[in-house]
Every structure is written in C-alpha cells, then in structure tokens.
C-alpha cells in the first residue's frame, strides 16, 4: 500500500478513537483520571484530523499523472 493511504487509515482511526474517548465520558467529571482521558480524546481526535490531511496531501502529491499532450496542429 502507498504511504498516503496508510496515513489516511491511521488518521481516521485516531479521529474515531478520539471521538470515542471524548464522548464516552460525561462533562463535568470531578475525577482527574476521567478528565485526563477526555482531554486525551480531544488531543488524539485533533491530531487524527491533521494526520488524515497529511495523508491526503501525500497521496495527491505522489500520484502518477500523465503529462498534458498539447496539440499544436493548426
């Protein structure tokens, strides 16, 4: 598999994992461990968005695009 596709898959899984960590814990928790998990979910989700964007850009940059064939016959 190409590196861009792997980065996209990793980024999407990070984003989904961050969403699960963030939304599985209620807001306003007093326990410091649960607040830490919720904050880690925020960080992992946002990082996952960045990794996904980097993977998309890497995929687009590494594509083999055929050069334009210009027709100058007049």
Question: What pLDDT score does 27 carry?
Answer: 82
- pLDDT, average across residues 40-45: 95
* Nearest one of 17, 3, 16, 1 to 57, comparing CA atoms: 3
Please write the tens of the pLDDT for every residue from 21-41: 999 988 887 889 999 999 999
* pLDDT value of position 29: 79
- pLDDT band, very low/low/confident/very high, at 74 (cuts 50, 70, 90): low
Q: What angle do CA 13, 44, 54 make, to 5 degrees?
A: 65
Enter the pTM of the model.
0.79
**Domain locations in the chain?**
3-61
Q: What pLDDT is recorded for position 19?
A: 94
Q: Residue 62: pLDDT above 80?
A: yes
């Amino acid at each position: 598999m190409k590196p861009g596709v792997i980065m996209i898959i990793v980024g999407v899984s990070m984003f989904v994992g961050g969403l699960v960590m963030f939304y599985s814990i209620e807001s306003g928790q007093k326990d410091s461990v649960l607040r830490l998990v919720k904050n880690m979910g925020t960080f992992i989700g946002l990082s996952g968005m960045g990794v996904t964007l980097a993977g998309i850009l890497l995929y687009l940059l590494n594509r083999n695009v055929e050069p334009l064939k210009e027709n100058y016959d007049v």
